[in-house]
Amino acid sequence: MSIAILRPTTGNGEPRSAVAQTGVWIGIATISMSFAALTSALVVRQSSAPDWQHFQLPPLLYVNTLVLLVSSVTLESSRRRQAVATLRATLVLGLLFIAGQVLAWRQLGAQGLFLATGPSSAFFYVFTVLHAAHLLGGMGGLVYVQRRLVAGLLSVATFKAAALYWHFMAVLWLYLLTLLTIRG
């Protein structure tokens, strides 16, 4: 058997850089597929019965959108400079986005629009809750990144992978907002 000495790993238990990014790309493909399936479900459900009631999206959603986009910018800035402060700002903005979404759900609830009220509100809640759940997962990743960064153990590529996921969350949200504005 031909052999070579095992090349060292990153040494601190982290997966190899390219692997983390590959993993995130695969995750992005999976999440995209899930939301594509839900989109097709929305289109089919909308045409299956005349009970679709369009409703005005809470304007707060646009503020939340802005918050999420700014969080992407702060994260990118943090990644390029390896800065902890802007990373913390990203986490705060992420929390703010989630809080804003909860507030938007409460506003809809106050108008009598709940999950079971009708198909349009049902899809609204399904899309936004699932997006928020994925975003919370991303925040977990960012907390991990922050801890490694503070400890000086973070690889550039791991940060890149985490940022990739976070930016995807913003892109996904823009898509969902557009979809819900047009079809919701």
Partner 1 sequence: MTHGVATGHAPPQSFLRRYVFSVDHKVIGRQYLDLALVAVVTGMVLSWIMRFHLGWPETPVPGLGKLAPTGAAGGVITPEYYLALMTMHGTIMVFFVLTTAPFAGFGNFLLPIHVGAADMAFPRINMTSFWMTLLAFLVLVTAFFVGDGPPLSGWTAYAPLSAVGKDAGPGQGVGQTLWAVSIAIFCVAQLLGSLNFIATTLDLRTRGMSLARLPFATWAWFITSVIGLIAFAVLMPACILLILDRVAGTSFFIPAGLVISDRLQPHAGGSPLLWQHLFWFFGHPEVYIAILPGFGIVSQILPVFARKPLLGPRVFIVCLIAIAFLSYTVWGHHMFLSGMNPLSATLFSVPTLVITIPATIICLLWIGTLYGARLRFTAATLFALGFVSVFVSGGISGFFLAQPSTDIYLHGTYFVVAHFHFVMGVAAMFGIFAGTYFWFPKMFGRMMNETLGKWHFWLTFIGVYCVFMPMHYLGLAGNVRRYSAFTDDYLQPLIPLHRFITIAALFTGAVQLIFLFNLIRSRFRGPPAPANPWEATTLEWSTSSPPPHDNFGGRQPVVTHGPNEFGGAGQRDYVMQAEPQ
The residue ranges that bind partner 1 (CB under 8 A) are 1-9, 13, 15-16, 18-19, 22-23, 26-27, 29-31, 33-35, 37-38, 40-41, 44-45, 48-52, 115-116, 119, 122, 126, 130
User: By C-beta, is 3 or 151 nearer to partner 1?
Assistant: 3
User: By C-beta, is 97 or 123 nearer to partner 1?
Assistant: 123
In whole angstroms, the minimum distance from the beta carbon of 181 to partner 1 comes to 21
In whole angstroms, the minimum distance from the beta carbon of 8 to partner 1 comes to 8
User: By C-beta, is 80 or 147 nearer to partner 1?
Assistant: 147
In whole angstroms, the minimum distance from the beta carbon of 27 to partner 1 comes to 7
In whole angstroms, the minimum distance from the beta carbon of 122 to partner 1 comes to 5
User: By C-beta, is 49 or 151 nearer to partner 1?
Assistant: 49
Find out whether 134 and 169 touch, Cβ atoms under 8 Å. Answer: yes
User: By C-beta, is 22 or 56 nearer to partner 1?
Assistant: 22
Find out whether 136 and 47 touch, Cβ atoms under 8 Å. Answer: no
Amino acid at 119: P
Token output for 138: 């991303």
Report d(CA 121, CA 59) in Å as an integer. Answer: 16
Buried/exposed 64-93: b ≥16 CB within 10 Å, e otherwise:
bbebbebbbebbeebbeeeeeebbebbbeb
Find out whether 17 and 155 touch, Cβ atoms under 8 Å. Answer: yes
In whole angstroms, the minimum distance from the beta carbon of 92 to partner 1 comes to 28
Inter-CA distances, 127 with 54, 152, 174, Å: 16, 37, 12
